[in-house]
Structure 1
Amino acid sequence: MASSTRNGDDHDDEIRLWREDDWWIARDVTTGVTTQGRSRAAALENLDEAVALQEGEVGREPTDDELRSAEIDPDQNVTGDTEPPDVLD
């Protein structure tokens, strides 16, 4: 088990790291976010970025122009009241 203090918080965050075939898998137990990488360092870097996205510390919503350039109609880009699939929980 590895623990660290993120952003000056006083709590420990548990991270699990293991290897499957040619990939390293990193999981932040507190958030449930899981990533992978070809090396331990890459898996942990990816985890840091994914947790920051999950926590709203980085990233932003795409603009309507960005959605259109990806051939997505902004008016149709809604989830409504539908629950996400179990795999996204």
Structure 2
Amino acid sequence: MSTGREIRLIEEDEGGWSAIDQELNVASQGETREEALANLDEAIELTEEAREADTPAPEPDAPWFEG
């Protein structure tokens, strides 16, 4: 069943895929399209749970976010 979400899939130059749900402002990545979409579903679920619980989303654990 369709959720009506619009998802952008981007094949990265370095390999792998990014999946972005711009309406919810959530993104994820994976080695394959399927993995990127599965990871995005998980990220959306966790984000929605955090928003419902009114708790902050977890801090990104990725080296490109470090200053």
Displacement after TM superposition at 1:32 (Å): 1.0
Counterpart of 2:47 in structure 1 is: 54
CA radius of gyration, larger in: 1
Counterpart of 2:30 in structure 1 is: 37
Q: Is the 8 A contact 1:13 1:29 kept in 2?
A: no
Question: Aligned-pair RMSD on alpha carbons?
Answer: 2.4
| TM-score normalised over the length of structure 1 | 0.51
Separation in 2 of the partners of 1:30 and 1:13?
Answer: 8
Separation in 1 of the partners of 2:25 and 2:16?
Answer: 18
Displacement after TM superposition at 1:38 (Å): 0.3
Taking only the aligned residue pairs, the percentage that are identical comes to 46
Unaligned runs of 5+ in 2: 51-55, 57-64
Counterpart of 2:9 in structure 1 is: 17
Unaligned runs of 5+ in 1: 6-11, 58-78, 80-86
For CA contacts below 8 A with separation 6 or more, give which structure has more relative contact order: 2
Separation in 1 of the partners of 2:22 and 2:45?
Answer: 14
Separation in 1 of the partners of 2:28 and 2:46?
Answer: 12
| TM-score normalised over the length of structure 2 | 0.66
Counterpart of 1:83 in structure 2 is: none
